[in-house]
């Protein structure tokens, strides 16, 4: 393992210390490891928080700031945060009108947020939770943990954060977040594994001529291993299941999000975006907005994910609204 790490045990703490120094104008870092918007809590504003394992940077800590999240709770690498963190974050951003929890659909995240919401409720803070589950690689059924929350989460946090900035109420924000979830689909692929620092070696072995299709963001293997293909073929293999799943139809306006998983350079992401634009154009789907870059990652994994969000005027307006965070700003 060759990494810019002092010790795996101190990795998250040292990262947070660095973030606090680098972005002191936007955030503050508090015990027990929560990233809070500098001006939180704001009276009369619904607090919007999210959280999850570390290793997905810039998600979620890089999205704390004006027009996006009020707080983020980073757990250990790939491990959901503990309820103490979400409870502390909920209290730190409580402006008296409730707090929204945006939760990615993983067994651990769901349970830890659930316990925190119960404790916050007992402390007199109204909490609503929306679960993001947009990964079409997972076959959804009543009998499994269900779809994973992936790229759609970034878009939901931006859009919901924009509405919260305009003092929308808790019920409205929860409904808006659900609307994003209902209209967003994603799928990812990996060229390499990633290395969990505490484990010290790649999570899975993969040949030079192989790729994993349908991976999540925790280095877990995907649904199937295939022979390596060209960028255009890979883009097609991700885009088609996404389009067919919602389904996205001729005449739809979408936000097209091409995301790097941490070890893939931007030059390759634009190659994927170019092909994605052609595929959507061929189906009469208009890209009204886009996002290209590494925003929800899986440590040093090489690979990418594609996320499509069906837009309407409301979502476009909220997407365009000002945002000022460490990772996203306009």
Report the residue number, 193 or 325, with the smaller CB distance to another protein: 193
Beta strands in 114-235 (DSSP E): 127-132, 184-190, 210-213, 224-227
92 and 41 Cβ atoms separated by less than 8 Å: yes
101 has catalytic annotation:
no
Give me 114's structure tokens: 């659930």
Shortest reach from residue 9's CB to another protein, in Å: 9
What is the spatial distance between Cα 10 and Cα 212, in angstroms, rounded to a whole number? 31
Is the CB of 133 or the CB of 255 nearer to another protein? 133
Q: How many C-beta atoms surround the C-beta of residue 126 within 10 A?
A: 16
Identified catalytic residue from 23, 60, 101, 218: 218
Give 80 or 294: the residue with its C-beta nearer to another protein: 80
* Annotation says 23 is catalytic: no
C-alpha dihedral over 301, 149, 119, 82, to 10 degrees? -10
How many angstroms separate the CA atoms of 112 and 131, rounded?
13
Please give the torsion angle defined by the CA atoms of residues 126, 310, 140 and 300, in that order, rounded to the nearest 10 degrees.
-90
Contacting residues toward another protein, per CB under 8 A = 53, 75-84, 106-108, 111-112, 114-115, 137-139, 143-145, 148, 196, 198-199, 203-204, 216, 218-221, 223-224
Of 82 and 302, CB closest to another protein: 82
Quote the least distance from Cβ 77 to another protein, whole Å: 7
Token digits for 132?
A: 């993001």
Q: How big is the chain by its Cα radius of gyration, in Å?
A: 19
**What do you get for the CA distance between the two ends of the chain, in Å?**
37
Report the DSSP beta bridge partners of residue 184.
309
Task: For the chain, give the number of residues.
Answer: 330
Question: Which CB, 78 or 248, lies closer to another protein?
Answer: 78
Shortest Å distance, C-beta 133 to another protein = 11
CB of residue 4 to another protein, shortest distance in Å = 20
The CB-side HSE value for 91 (13 A sphere, CA atoms) comes to 16
Per the residue annotation, which of 23, 56, 60, 101 is the catalytic one?
A: 56
CB of 207 to another protein, least distance (A): 16
Cβ proximity to another protein: between 71 and 159 the closer is 71
Distance (Å, whole) CA 218 – CA 20 = 25
User: Minimum distance from CB of 79 to another protein (Å)?
Assistant: 4
Q: Which residues are catalytic?
A: 56, 218
């Amino acid at each position: 393992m060759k990494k810019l790490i002092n010790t795996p045990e101190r990795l998250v703490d040292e990262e947070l210390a660095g973030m606090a120094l680098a972005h002191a104008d936007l955030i503050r870092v508090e015990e027990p490891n929560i990233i809070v918007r500098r001006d939180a809590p704001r009276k009369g504003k619904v607090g919007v928080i999210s959280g999850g394992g570390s290793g997905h940077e810039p998600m979620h800590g890089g999205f704390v700031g004006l027009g996006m999240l009020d707080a983020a709770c980073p757990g250990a690498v790939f491990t959901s945060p503990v309820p103490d963190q979400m409870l502390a974050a909920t209290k730190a951003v409580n402006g008296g009108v409730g707090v929204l929890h945006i939760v990615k659909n993983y067994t651990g995240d769901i349970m830890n947020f659930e316990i925190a919401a119960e404790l916050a409720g007992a402390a007199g803070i109204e909490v609503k939770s929306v679960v993001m589950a947009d990964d079409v690689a997972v076959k959804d059924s009543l009998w499994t943990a269900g779809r994973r929350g992936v790229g759609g989460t970034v878009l939901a946090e931006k859009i919901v954060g924009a509405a919260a900035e305009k003092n929308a109420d808790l019920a409205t924000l929860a409904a808006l977040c659900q609307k994003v979830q209902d209209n967003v689909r994603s799928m990812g692929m990996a060229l390499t594994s990633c290395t969990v620092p505490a484990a010290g070696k790649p999570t899975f072995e993969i040949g030079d001529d192989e790729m994993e299709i349908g991976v999540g963001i925790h280095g877990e293997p995907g649904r199937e291993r295939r022979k390596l293909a060209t960028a255009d073929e890979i883009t097609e293999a991700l885009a088609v299941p996404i389009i067919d799943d919602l389904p996205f139809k001729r005449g739809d306006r979408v936000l097209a999000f091409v995301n790097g998983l941490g070890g893939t350079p931007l030059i390759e992401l634009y190659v994927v975006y170019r092909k994605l634009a052609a595929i959507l154009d061929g189906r009469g789907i208009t890209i009204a907005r886009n996002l290209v870059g590494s925003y929800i990652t899986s440590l040093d994994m090489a690979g990418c994910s594609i996320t499509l969000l069906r837009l309407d005027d409301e979502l476009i307006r909220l997407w365009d609204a000002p945002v000022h965070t460490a990772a996203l700003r306009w």
